[in-house]
């Protein structure tokens, strides 16, 4: 059974960066895509980007290009999402989700990121 465990909640100042981790267990880490999805309060989910660990290739939603970096460490089965130049509207719960061909079969528990001065 695949299990994804994310790092804890963060409070950040506007203009700073945040790095959220997602450790996977079970299944085959390298062969699935690892996606990041965020959800602002009262809103629907929003896909940010994904990485294919087996190829070490990431792609991102246009909206986040230049601000987000997704990486993966195959040796530890951990993925990371780094979001820079934070604004108040980046306040959201950030989820990692994993599955074959970018299908989102399994989700982490979510990480709340609050951006506030």
Partner 1 sequence: EIVLTQSPSTLSLSPGERATLSCRASQSVGSSYLAWFQQKPGQAPRLLIYGSSSRATGIPDRFSGSGSGTDFTLTINRLEPEDFAFYFCQHYGASPYTFGQGTKVEIK
Residues in contact with partner 1, shown as a per-residue x/- string from 57 to 96 under the rule CB under 8 A = --x-xxx-------------------------------x-
> How would you label 87-96 residue by residue, b for 16+ Cβ within 10 Å and e otherwise?
eeebbbbbbb
Minimum Å gap between C-beta 115 and partner 1 is: 20
Helix (H, G, I), strand (E, B) or coil at 43: coil
Collapsing DSSP states into helix, strand and coil, what is residue 62? helix
User: Which of 10, 45, 69, 91 is the binder for partner 1 (CB under 8 A)?
Assistant: 45
24-32, 54-62, 66-74, 81-89 -> range binding partner 1 (CB under 8 A)? 54-62
* Neighbouring-strand partners of residue 47: 37
């Amino acid at each position: 059974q695949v299990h994804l465990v994310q790092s804890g909640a963060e409070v950040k100042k506007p203009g700073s960066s945040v790095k959220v981790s997602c450790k996977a267990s079970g299944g085959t880490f390298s062969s699935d895509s690892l996606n990041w999805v965020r959800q602002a309060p009262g809103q629907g989910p929003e896909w940010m980007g994904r990485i294919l660990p087996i190829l070490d290739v990431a792609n991102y939603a246009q909206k986040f290009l230049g601000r987000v970096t997704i990486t993966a460490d195959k040796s530890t089965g951990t993925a990371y999402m780094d979001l820079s130049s934070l604004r108040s509207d980046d306040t959201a719960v950030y989820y990692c989700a994993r599955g074959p061909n970018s299908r989102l079969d399994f989700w982490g528990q979510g990480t709340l990121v609050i951006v506030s001065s």
